[in-house]
Amino acid sequence: MATFTHDFQTGSFTGKTSFPTGLFIDGEFREGSEKTTIDIVNPTTGRILTTIPEATKADLDIAVKAAQKAFDTTWGLNVGGAQRGELLNKLARLMEEHQDELSAIEAVDNGKTFSWAKNVDVAFATATIKYYAGWADKISGQTLETDEKKLIYTRHEPIGVVGQIIPWNFPLLMFSWKVGPALATGNTIVLKPSEFTPLTALRMCSLIKEAGFPPGVVNVLTGYGHTVGQAIAEHQDIQKVAFTGSTLVGRKVMAAAAASNLKNVTLELGGKSPNIVFDDADLDQAVSWAAHGIFWNHGQACCAGSRVYVQAGIYDEFLRRFTEQTKKIKVGDPFAPGVDQGPQVSQQQYDRIMGYIESGKKDGATVHTGGNRHGTEGFFIEPTIFTDTTENMQIVKEEIFGPVGVIIKFTDEADVLRQANDTVFGLAAAVFSQDINRALQTAHKLQAGTAWVNCVNQLHANVPFGGYKQSGIGRELGEYALHNYTNVKAVHVNLGHRM
C-alpha cells in the first residue's frame, strides 16, 4: 500500500510525516479496483508531491456496503450517544496531539500558510469535532399531548449511509464540518475529498482508526468529481448527500440525487459577498477587516467579501489606506515566517483567476494594484484590487475564488442595498458603521445567510452557516447542522382505547 512520506525542514515546522494513502474502506487502506492513480501537485513548486489511488464506482459500491453493514451492526441505533461522543472526543484529542503535523500537511497540500493552517484550520476543525461530541447524547425528540388515551413522542433517528463531498479550499475544516454532525447523530459515512487536496483527509483516517471507531463507520474515497462524486449523488443505497463546492456542481448533485432515490440533499455553495462601508465607519477597523475579507485563504473562500462598497464621503481615503494595507501583504512560501499569502491551489485555479483579471481589464476596469503573477514557479498571484467597475462586469457578478476584489463607490443606503442584493448568491455580507441602528437595519435587509457587523469572515462551531438563493440549501455548523442528519419519526401509543 502506498505511503506519503515527507520531511518538513522549514522556519515554521521541522518534522516528518508518514502515513498510508490508499482508499479507506471498512477500516483498512487499499488500492483502487482499477489500480489507477492521481498525481498530487505541490502548489508552491508546481511539481508532483505524491500519487494517490483513484477510486471508481466499483470502489464506491464496496464502501457503501461496508458503511451499511457498520450502520446495521456496530453503529447507528446499536451505539448510544454517550459512546459516540466519547469516540469523537478521542478523535479531537488525537488531532490536538498531531496539530503541527496536520497543519504542515495542509500547508504543503493546499498552499495555505502553516500559521493559518495551525491557528485557524486545525484549531477550528478540532473545536468542531469537540462541539459535536458534546451533542452526541443530546439528540432527542418531543412528547406530544393529544388526549389521555394516547402517548405520542418523536424520535430523531440516523438516516443511514450518507455521502459527503468536500472542496479543496479548507480540506481539514470541511472534513470536520461534515463528519462531526453525521457521526454525532449515528450515521455512517462515505466521503470524497477533493482530488487536489486529499492528504489531510487520508491522515484523519488513521486517527479515526486509532480513536476506535468501528470499521466501516467512516470510509474515504479519493477520486474525481465526475466519477466518484457523481456516483455518490446517484447511488441508490446512499440516503443523504452533503456537498460543498460551486453552484454549478451543486446543481448537478441535486439533479442526480432527485433522479436516483430522491435522497436528502444539503448544499453549501458559492458566494459573491458584499462588504458595505458607511461614511461613519471606524476607517482603520474597516480597512483591516476588508483586507481580511478579500484575501483570507488567498481569496479561496466562498464567503470572501470580494465586493467592497464604500460610501462616497470616505471613498478616496478608504482606497488610499486599503491600497497601503494590500501592498503590505507578503506573498511567498507558506512555511516561511511572516508570509501572509501562499500559492493558489492548482494550475487550473491559477489560470481561472488570471482569466478573470484579464476579463476585468478587457471590460475597462482599472487594476488599481496587483494583477500579475508573483514569482517564477508555483501558482502565486499578487493581491489584486479593481476600481472603476460597472455592475455588469464579470469581476463584479461572478465568483472569482482568488485574491481579487473590487472597490465600488455608493451614495446612500438605498443605492448600496440595491447593488449588494443584485446577485444570484446570498452566502454572506458585512456592514461597517459606528451607528449600530444603521448597521443592524442594513444587515437585516441584506439577502444573505450570514451578516457580519464591523467584522468579516468570523465562523464558530456553534453558529449556523449557509446561504440564501443559489448559495445553497441547509446549514452547516451549530445545532442546525444536526437536523440535516436525522429522520424524525412520530410514535403513537394506544393506552387501552378500543375502537
Q: Is the pLDDT of residue 2 over 90?
A: no
Query: Which residue bears the cell 467512516?
Result: 218
User: At a CB cut-off of 8 Å and minimum separation 6, what does 332 contact?
Assistant: 339, 341, 342, 374, 375, 380
Distance between CA 327 and CA 195 in Å, rounded? 33
Q: Mind listing the pLDDT tens digit for each residue in 286-299? A: 999 999 999 999 99
* Confidence (pLDDT) at 141: 95
Q: Which of 50, 66, 53, 64 is nearest to 18 (CA)?
A: 50
Amino acid at 159: I
**Average pLDDT, integer, range 47-61:** 97
Q: Which is it for the CA torsion 43, 46, 47, 51, positive or negative?
A: positive
What is the strand order of the sheet 143-144 is part of? 143-144, 150-158, 486-494
Which residues are 7's β-sheet partners? Answer: 16
Percent of the chain topping pLDDT 90: 96
> Residue 497's pLDDT band (boundaries 50, 70, 90)?
confident
Beta bridge partners of 369: 385
Q: For residues 170 and 311, give the distance between their C-alpha atoms in angstroms, rounded to a whole number.
A: 33
* Residues with catalytic roles: 268
Distance in angstroms (rounded) separating the CA atoms of residues 120 and 2: 30
Helix axes 81-97, 123-135, angle to 10 degrees: 170
pLDDT digit string, tens, across residues 435-457:
999 999 999 999 999 999 999 99
Banded pLDDT at 174 (limits 50, 70, 90): very high
Domain ranges across the chain: 3-269+472-488, 274-460
Taking domain 274-460, whether its CATH number is 3.40.309.10 is answered by yes
Residue 12 above 80 pLDDT? no
The full length of the chain comes to 499
pLDDT of residue 475: 97
Is a pLDDT exceeding 80 seen at residue 224?
yes
Instruction: Dig out the grid coordinates for 326 from the structure.
Output: 494590500
State pLDDT tens for residues 371-397. Answer: 999 999 999 999 999 999 999 999 999
Listed in sequence order, the residues at least 6 apart from 437 whose beta carbon sits closer than 8 Å to its beta carbon are none
CA distances from 106 to 9, 109, 113, 115, 417 (A): 15, 5, 9, 11, 38
Read off the pLDDT band of 1 (50, 70, 90).
low
Give the count of beta carbons closer than 10 Å to the beta carbon of residue 395: 21
Packing angle, helices 413-421 and 436-445, rounded to 10? 30
Of 91, 70, 345, 77, residue with least CA distance to 196:
345
The chain-wide mean pLDDT, for the chain, equals 96
- Sign of the four-CA dihedral 129, 133, 136, 142: negative
Backbone angles phi, psi at 195, to 5 degrees: -70, -15
Contact 432, 416 (CB under 8 A): no
pLDDT at 14: 84
Mean pLDDT on 137-147 = 94
Q: What distance in Å separates the CA atoms of residue 144 and residue 489, rounded to the nearest whole number?
A: 12
CATH classification of 3-269+472-488, choosing from 3.40.50.10420, 3.40.50.620, 3.40.605.10, 3.20.110.10? Answer: 3.40.605.10
Angle in degrees, 0-180, between the axes of helices 199-211 and 171-184, rounded to the nearest 10: 40
User: What is the rounded distance in angstroms from the CA atom of residue 190 to the CA atom of residue 182?
Assistant: 11
In this prediction, residue 462 has a pLDDT band, given cuts at 50, 70 and 90, of very high
The closest alpha carbon to 89, from 177, 191, 208, 220, belongs to 208
Tell me how many helices (H) and strands (E) the chain has.
16, 22
Amino acid 13: pLDDT:
79
Q: Give the Cα separation of 317 and 314 in Å (integer).
A: 5
Residue 489 burial (CB < 10 Å; 0-12/13-18/19+)? exposed
**143 to 45, 80, 137, 154, 495: CA distances (angstroms):** 60, 20, 18, 7, 15
Residue 392 dihedral angles phi and psi, to the nearest 5°: -90, 5
Residues 6+ apart with CB under 8 A from 499: none
* Confidence (pLDDT) at 412: 94
Do residues 371 and 365 lie in contact, with contact meaning Cβ atoms separated by under 8 Å? no
Q: Is 466 helix (H, G, I), strand (E, B) or coil?
A: coil
Write the pLDDT tens digit of every residue in 60-118.
999 999 999 999 999 999 999 999 999 999 999 999 999 999 999 999 999 999 999 99
**What is the Rg, in whole angstroms, of the alpha carbon atoms belonging to the chain?**
24
Query: Is the C-alpha dihedral spanning 181, 187, 209, 57 positive or negative?
Result: negative
One-letter amino acid for residue 405 of the chain:
G
The residue behind cell 474515504 is 220
**H-run or E-run covering 23:** strand 23-25
> pLDDT digits over 150-164, tens only?
999 999 999 999 999
- 494: β partners: 150
